[in-house]
Amino acid sequence: MTSLAATAARIEASFAKQALMTTLGATLESVEPGRVVIVLPVVPALFQQHGFVHAGAVATIADSAAGYAALTRMPEGRGVLTAEFKINLLAPAAGARLVAIGTVVKAGRTLTLSQAEVFAEAIAGDAGSRKLCALLTATLMAIEDRAGIVD
Amino acid sequence: MTSLAATAARIEASFAKQALMTTLGATLESVEPGRVVIVLPVVPALFQQHGFVHAGAVATIADSAAGYAALTRMPEGRGVLTAEFKINLLAPAAGARLVAIGTVVKAGRTLTLSQAEVFAEAIAGDAGSRKLCALLTATLMAIEDRAGIVD
Amino acid sequence: MTSLAATAARIEASFAKQALMTTLGATLESVEPGRVVIVLPVVPALFQQHGFVHAGAVATIADSAAGYAALTRMPEGRGVLTAEFKINLLAPAAGARLVAIGTVVKAGRTLTLSQAEVFAEAIAGDAGSRKLCALLTATLMAIEDRAGIVD
Amino acid sequence: MTSLAATAARIEASFAKQALMTTLGATLESVEPGRVVIVLPVVPALFQQHGFVHAGAVATIADSAAGYAALTRMPEGRGVLTAEFKINLLAPAAGARLVAIGTVVKAGRTLTLSQAEVFAEAIAGDAGSRKLCALLTATLMAIEDRAGIVD
């Protein structure tokens, strides 16, 4: 059996290797079986032309949250790759902080379906100020026995 | 009539405001009516955990290329917002440079469908070394008469 | 104010005009604000080559459930059209009956995002025998002042 | 080596088992390596509430065309299942006949990406009267060694 601590450590170590997260300023907030939360402070370096966070940055944290949620359901030694995702953008990604909550819809041997909700917080850390700004669904693939593709 | 130069100038000015492009290192390579190309040198700051460019960075340049291709078909004064996109990731985004080619599938009054192909170039600038690594389809919305949403 | 009964009557009348529902054998099970349920008995006329219900038939009831859920949130006189949908197929659509539950994620003036879960019931009408077999997200467009596009 | 005739025979035999195609009135028009065409005469039994072909019927022929295009690239003995698809609906599906042209974007060992364009023909069989009404992208999964999942 894989302990919760071992799973969290595994995701933390993998997240730390995702250099793009550092580049954007995203951090891993929580890891539970089947659920991963990533937060991203809103800063001008992430903006598109109208002063909102670019859909690509929103998609980036949503994809990672969905992918790591899937990874919590995969046996150790497997790597996770995104096969596809779709994101609907519902409101401008603005405010103080974005929060991406990834959850597993159905875990399979080869393919896992996850989704991620992204909320824009007017006040960072104030869940009461959250507004849903994007919804992503992603197909994640479990990779086995391929050099370099672990976690 | 809108001249080609005016359209290119409009897209260039809008692109220059997309701070995320600067953050990632992406540049605008070409603008034609219905077709926009964005390039992104592959650097470690963009990586996910296995040493490939993160799907989110791939999606970012694909979304911008698709969106600006749509904008070339919209009257002046309209702003473009992404309503949704889906991206299929076909091969690891690795090599020297990514090239996202956005084209318009169908331009409508309110909604435009664009797609973007993303190629990984083993040798930067060598089209012969290109390999298709992602395909995106996006629904773009033309925004009119909303403060701050122009281009 | 639109009464619940008026909304249900509006959806029922529109559903009755969807000849494809009759062709497939689907019926409208319930209508609430923001939530519509459609059921489809599993019969061989709906099969693909392996003896499961074809993904297209699954998508059909999911799209209608999502679309009508959106319509419950639109003012009278508007028509609803699907701009796009994505469906992930999670398990073979088999058993006695499929149940598509459409709900509204976010209702907007022009665009509404709905989703639909499709469950396969081993025993028709036995919720305890339900298994999630598909998840759809759809962008619905509200159409105003276009001849013939009402409801 | 698999001959073209053998591939066509394989797809024809599988298509004949897709009872939903018969229910809707769709026929297989052509099979080539990586490309499959399905046609659907427009009849009232396929309509949604405004008198257009229901998005679900459009998606059904597009999904089958995309899936069979993928199957032409898979070794004999494999079965094909749709993991997910997204469809953008660009114009009302009206006229005399719909034509779905499925092509392979990238064939992989486990996953294949196909796309399908659906055209509405004002005059059945007159390619000059075609108008693009939908674009689908689909992820197909090759199934091996599972009872009943062949072709």
Tens digit of pLDDT for each residue in D48-64? 999 999 999 999 999 99
Mean local confidence (pLDDT), D125-135: 96
Q: Where are the domains of chain B?
A: 4-144
Which pLDDT value is given to residue D148? 80
DSSP state of A34: T
Of the candidates D52, B20, D105, C102, the residue with the CA atom closest to the CA atom of residue A57: B20
For A6, counting Cβ atoms within 10 Å of its Cβ (0-12 exposed, 13-18 middle, 19+ buried), the class is exposed
Chain C neighbours (≥3 Cβ pairs under 8 A) are A, B, D
Is residue A2's pLDDT more than 70? no
Does position D145 have pLDDT exceeding 90, yes or no? Answer: no
The reported pLDDT for the residue numbered C151 is: 87
Asked whether the beta carbons of residue C106 and residue A113 sit closer than 8 angstroms, the reply is no
pTM of the model: 0.97
User: Residue B66 — φ and ψ, nearest 5°?
Assistant: -65, -40
How far apart CA C5 and CA B140 sit, in angstroms, is 36
Helix (H) or strand (E) holding D23: helix D19-24
Do the chains contact at C135 and A137, CB–CB below 8 Å?
Answer: yes
Residues A81-130 have pLDDT tens digits of 999 999 999 999 999 999 999 999 999 999 999 999 999 999 999 999 99
Fold of the CATH domain C4-144: Thiol Ester Dehydrase; Chain A (3.10.129)
- Rounded Cα distance between A31 and B22, Å, is 31
Question: Residues of chain B with pLDDT > 70: what percent?
Answer: 99
Contacts of D113 in chain B (CB under 8 A): 88, 90, 135
Q: Chain C residue closest to B87 (CA)?
A: C86
What count of other Cβ atoms lies within 10 Å of the Cβ of residue C89? 24
**Among the listed residues C142, C141, C28, C20, the one whose alpha carbon sits nearest the alpha carbon of residue C75:** C142
Instruction: Decide if A137 and C139 are in contact by the 8 Å CB cutoff.
Output: no
Whether the CB of A141 is below 8 Å from some CB of chain D: the reply is yes
Give the Cα separation of C64 and D80 in Å (integer): 26
With H, G, I as helix, E, B as strand and everything else as coil, classify residue B144.
coil
pLDDT of the residue at B4: 84
Distance CA C143, CA C79 (A): 5
pLDDT at A146 (0 to 100): 84
Write the DSSP symbol of residue D53. B
What confidence score (pLDDT) does residue A151 get? 87
Residue of C nearest to B137 (CA): C84
Say if residues A56 and A63 touch (Cβ distance below 8 Å). Answer: no
Question: How far apart are the C-alpha atoms of A6 and A10, rounded to whole Å?
Answer: 6
Do B97 and B41 form a contact (C-beta atoms < 8 A)?
A: yes
Instruction: Please report, as a single letter, which amino acid is at residue C145.
Output: D
A4 pLDDT more than 90: no
Residue A63 contacts residue C88 (beta carbons within 8 Å): no
Give A133: exposed, middle or buried? Use CB within 10 Å, 0-12, 13-18, 19+: buried
What is the mean pLDDT of the segment spanning A46-51? 96
- The yes-or-no verdict on residue D2 having pLDDT over 80 is no
Q: Which two tokens stand for residue C22?
A: 């009759």
Confidence at residue A77, expressed as pLDDT on a 0 to 100 scale = 87
Option in C88, C91, C105 nearest A135 (CB): C105
Q: What mean pLDDT is reported for chain D?
A: 95
How far apart are alpha carbons C40 and C96 in whole angstroms?
A: 9
Residue B143 has φ and ψ, to the nearest 5°, of -110, 130
List of residues 6+ apart from B138 with CB closer than 8 A = B62, B63, B66, B67, B70, B82, B83, B84, B85, B86, B113, B114, B115, B116
Res. C2 pLDDT band, cuts 50 70 90: low
What are C86-130's pLDDT values in tens digits? 999 999 999 999 999 999 999 999 999 999 999 999 999 999 999
Q: Does the distance separating the beta carbons of B135 and D105 come in below 8 Å?
A: yes
